[in-house]
Structure 1
Amino acid sequence: MPPPAVVTGTGHAPIRRATTPDRRILPMTIKVFGHKSPDTDSTGSPLIWAWYLSEIKGTPAEAVLLGTPNTEAAFMLDRWGFEQPTIIEDVAAGAPVVVVDTNNPAELPAGINDADLQQIIDHHRLVGGLETKGPIDIRIEPVACTATIMWKMIGKDMAQAPTAIKGAMLSCILSDTLEFRSPTTTQEDKAVAHALADELGIDIPSYAAEMFAAKSDVSAFSDAELLRMDSKAYEVGGTKFRVSVLETTSPGTVLDRKASLMETMPTVASEDGVDQVLLFVVDILNEESTLLVPNDLVRDVASRSFAAEAAGNTVLLPGVVSRKKQIIPNLKV
């Protein structure tokens, strides 16, 4: 028979705590997750940290996702033999959680501030708005990838990491740095990636090309799914944007759909509670972006933010490949 349970928590979503036959309460499993619209880093980093907590620290932990992983993340899962983590919509009050690859409440479950947030590991700017039950462990560093931070935090215990965990870590770094093309790339990211590749016997250019090919295959996705695939909410000057990025080695495949993508933008904006969707199609190989320009608002954003004038319904932005470092910080209305 399963062990009895005790109920904790508050409100309509109590937490059932398993107990042993002598009524000792068993440790609750920590849920580890990244942001909504999970990319490779927000898919791989929860797996890495859940392994570390469970296998090295002896604390039960489970990697979960806040949405369907993108095609590159799905490739990573398959390549290294992971099952896709469970997708959750919310977290229960009082449930122990660790947040990775974000600290933005808008990218997290609605109930995040009622959960027991125990740790944040991230490489983005500090947004604010998260509340905790007490002091917590926070690690935010200016590197390109959460997995780079984790590699340093795990330290000598990386010697015990299975091949799949090392493969996920390498995949996260190559994805977030665009194989070291992104201006967010640091020497630490490069050093960790090369060390992992050497251990795994992986040729970085060949493996990165496989990853980017998987990321570029978006033929099965609807326009709305593409607009939400790698997307973050951001407000500037009172205007709410959904800033979407599609990184690809075949930008023409996406740009061939620009008319229908722009037609779908108002619907996505309305459903997601924002004023405008901004879609940047990032050409990984040529290190440039194309911003779709469906209206005068976006035309003004392009002019004010990037000193770029739209030619028709697109504007080319040479050298712009990073949402975190080049797009979001420069947005003006």
Structure 2
Amino acid sequence: MPAQITYVSGHKNPDTDSCCSAICYSRFLKACHPKRNIIPMTAGPIMEQTRFILNKFGVTPPDVISDISPKAKHVPQTGRDVLNINQPVSQALEIYNQKQQLDFACIDDENNYIGMLQINDLITSILRPVNETDMTQISCTINSLIKTLGAQIVHNTQNLNEINKYRLVIPTMDLEGFKLISDSWDVERWSESLFIMGYNPEITSYIIKNNGGMIILTRSAEQITRIKAMQKTHQPMNRVSSHQAINEMVHHEMEGPEGTSVILQHIQTHNETDPLYNIIKEAPEHTTIMCTSFCVAAATVLSKQATPVKLLCKSDKVHQVKDNTPLRDIKERFLAHKQVHALAVVDQQGKYLNLLKRFDIEDVNLIDLVLVDHNELGQQPTGSQAIGVSIIEIVDHHKIAIDDQQKVQKMTVKPVGCTCTIIFELFKQKGVQLDKQTASLLMSAILTDTLILKSPTATKTDAETLKLLQDLTGIDYLQLGAEIFSSVQGFSSMDKKKVVKQDYKVFEAKQGRYGVSQVEVSSHSQISDDVINELLQILKEMSTNEGLFLTCCLVTDVQLNSSILITNGPASFADVVGYGLWKNKKCCYDLPGVVSRKKQLMPHLINVLSLLE
């Protein structure tokens, strides 16, 4: 999983100041915190003007991220155990006993996620079957039995990994009694029987002659063979020594010095006194024989746990999520499905990545967010309120309008004309070296946001900063400003709706919501009758689609220091707007000297709308 991310982001519909602030402030933070994973981003498409600036100074545009909501892939590894589908469920129970883990992701040999195993589901299927038939039936492989019982094969010709169904049989009677019980068994019944037994050569021989499916020789068989071995070597076998030998067998390892089973060593060494040797030696292909150090009772209980995980895990989709699933959706999944206690995270190819519990996504901090050039909730990147996101800092030059519920660790807000002016001051205060490329971006942003210092929002600090940056870069800021604004195509672009939406904000009034866009053009000569008609249609569609009672587009000619306001709204708006028509065009108003939406247009609109019935 990736390291925690810090995003530095401007507002939605980013202008040049928003984009350049994100780039420059992320560079500042990286210089101050070189070990942090700090990434500049934009919350929307980059404007044409901004692209011109980035291209001019050789800067790679930041990624456009439409939603920063943390995803499943952002959650650190939880370290929970996983199970291979070929492992016996005894492995799950052993882990539960050690770590109290209740849920297990189950994977194949290629790390593909297959399903989920829950300990609670084993209660009826393994630990407490509901009827006698279930209690005496086992579905397992030879390998899963070996792993569960710590067993070793004495005789086998069958596939170790093939799943077979067996019926448990515990021969506790003498041979004649066993013959009576098994007298009605057909060939299939014998082949599907799994016999767990101690030292009983007669019954073992009878089972082998009838092609029994499997024989598991338990600890008592090993104890007796060892005692017989001691008798063969004429060691005294009084009550004490016999008891001692049996006790030693309880703790004796199943594997001998050369990897062969202890029971087999004793049988092979003392075959003339132990009939089991010849019996096992003559076992047919169909009968598998293995031995375990567990007693009959323990082996019987554990054998049910030899069922491979693949037979019991749930393969439904409700227990898995893709790695790009937002945490909010994961939380909703847990709330909607009370039986789901864990979710497996998989990549787009279905490979297993992580296992999440409900509490893994509560009060978790995965993404730090730094807001530049804005602070109000409506302008923040989508996902700023999501689970796992913390707004740690704000750098802005606008009025503070952050939501009361949002907790921010640090705020730097100053009444200047551009956020990049503040960022330049921070570079100076911290003594962080400012390279020419970063300085050029700061200069460009200040020029665009203050309209080459012509905007009413421009301050003395902005002007002084431009002069300092001019000295640092050797670039004449007046020439640069003229070049930037002359590069803008404005409405010569084919997609005029996209141009209108680039710098667009929605506001509230007593009549309802209304939207105001601002577009900068190199000359008002671009505004032909066809362009006006097309813009009016676009504004009308925006009003309908977004439920707005008024939409406006402020078209600003920076060189002339003048704007045109094109509107779609109630007819009575013309009576109170207070501006004359531009070239006698209906719904188009001439605003000489108006270049700032924030400082000039919005205060006027607020007053106008208060008069509108």
State whether TM-score is above 0.5.
Answer: yes
Tell me if 1:229 matches 2:205.
no
Tell me if 1:263 matches 2:239.
no
Higher relative contact order (CA 8 A, sep 6+): 2
Q: Specify the alignment match of 1:200 in structure 2.
A: 473
Q: Specify the alignment match of 1:182 in structure 2.
A: 455
Q: Specify the alignment match of 2:397 in structure 1.
A: 123
* Distance in structure 2 (CA, Å) of the matches to 1:157 and 1:255: 50
* TM-fit CA distance, 1:84: 1.1
8 Å Cα contact 1:105/1:130 also seen in 2: no
* Letter aligned with residue 220 of structure 1: S
Tell me if 1:49 matches 2:14.
no
Q: Specify the alignment match of 1:31 in structure 2.
A: 7
* TM-fit CA distance, 1:286: 1.5
8 Å Cα contact 1:289/1:316 also seen in 2: yes
Query: Structure 1 residues 326, 201: CA separation in 2 closer, same or farther (over 3 Å shift)?
Result: same
* Distance in structure 2 (CA, Å) of the matches to 1:260 and 1:137: 45
* Letter aligned with residue 70 of structure 1: M
**Which of 1 and 2 has greater Rg?**
2
Tell me if 1:96 matches 2:371.
no
8 Å Cα contact 1:33/1:99 also seen in 2: yes
Q: Specify the alignment match of 2:601 in structure 1.
A: 327
* Distance in structure 2 (CA, Å) of the matches to 1:130 and 1:39: 26
* Distance in structure 2 (CA, Å) of the matches to 1:32 and 1:108: 11
1:190-247 per-residue CA deviation (whole Å, 9 max, x = no partner) reads 0001110111111122111110012244423412112202111111223212210111
Query: Structure 1 residues 173, 165: CA separation in 2 closer, same or farther (over 3 Å shift)?
Result: same
* Distance in structure 1 (CA, Å) of the matches to 2:526 and 2:425: 38
Q: Which runs of 4+ in 1 moved over 4 A?
A: 156-159
Query: Structure 1 residues 158, 70: CA separation in 2 closer, same or farther (over 3 Å shift)?
Result: farther
8 Å Cα contact 2:511/2:549 also seen in 1: no
8 Å Cα contact 2:417/2:459 also seen in 1: yes
Identity of aligned residues (%): 27
Tell me if 1:249 matches 2:522.
yes
The number of residue pairs the alignment matches comes to 305
Q: Specify the alignment match of 1:110 in structure 2.
A: 382
* Distance in structure 1 (CA, Å) of the matches to 2:57 and 2:430: 20
SS state of the match for residue 391, structure 2?
strand
* Distance in structure 2 (CA, Å) of the matches to 1:110 and 1:71: 22
* Letter aligned with residue 108 of structure 1: Q
* Distance in structure 2 (CA, Å) of the matches to 1:295 and 1:63: 38
* Distance in structure 2 (CA, Å) of the matches to 1:273 and 1:65: 26
SS state of the match for residue 215, structure 1?
coil
SS state of the match for residue 492, structure 2?
coil
Query: Structure 1 residues 303, 174: CA separation in 2 closer, same or farther (over 3 Å shift)?
Result: farther
SS state of the match for residue 262, structure 1?
helix
* Letter aligned with residue 153 of structure 1: L
1:60 to 34, 37, 58: 37
8 Å Cα contact 1:70/1:215 also seen in 2: no
Query: Structure 1 residues 159, 121: CA separation in 2 closer, same or farther (over 3 Å shift)?
Result: closer
1:44-95 per-residue CA deviation (whole Å, 9 max, x = no partner) reads 0000011011123333311101111111100111111111111111112542
Q: Give the alignment's TM-score, normalised by structure 2.
A: 0.48
Q: Give the alignment's TM-score, normalised by structure 1.
A: 0.85
Deviates more, 1:58-67 or 1:144-153: 58-67
* Distance in structure 2 (CA, Å) of the matches to 1:130 and 1:69: 30
Query: Structure 1 residues 259, 64: CA separation in 2 closer, same or farther (over 3 Å shift)?
Result: same
Q: Specify the alignment match of 1:274 in structure 2.
A: 548
8 Å Cα contact 1:230/1:244 also seen in 2: yes
Q: Specify the alignment match of 1:167 in structure 2.
A: 440
Structure 2 gaps of 5+ residues are 71-364
Tell me if 1:149 matches 2:422.
yes
* Distance in structure 2 (CA, Å) of the matches to 1:143 and 1:303: 35
Query: Structure 1 residues 140, 221: CA separation in 2 closer, same or farther (over 3 Å shift)?
Result: farther
8 Å Cα contact 2:31/2:432 also seen in 1: no
SS state of the match for residue 42, structure 1?
helix
* TM-fit CA distance, 1:292: 1.2
1:243-284 per-residue CA deviation (whole Å, 9 max, x = no partner) reads 101112212214451111101212223334433320111111
* Letter aligned with residue 403 of structure 2: G
* Distance in structure 2 (CA, Å) of the matches to 1:158 and 1:247: 36
Query: Structure 1 residues 127, 221: CA separation in 2 closer, same or farther (over 3 Å shift)?
Result: farther
* Distance in structure 1 (CA, Å) of the matches to 2:482 and 2:568: 32
Q: How does 1:3-42 map to 2 (within 5 A)?
A: 5=1, 18=2, 26=3, 28-42=4-18
Tell me if 1:308 matches 2:285.
no
* TM-fit CA distance, 1:129: 2.2
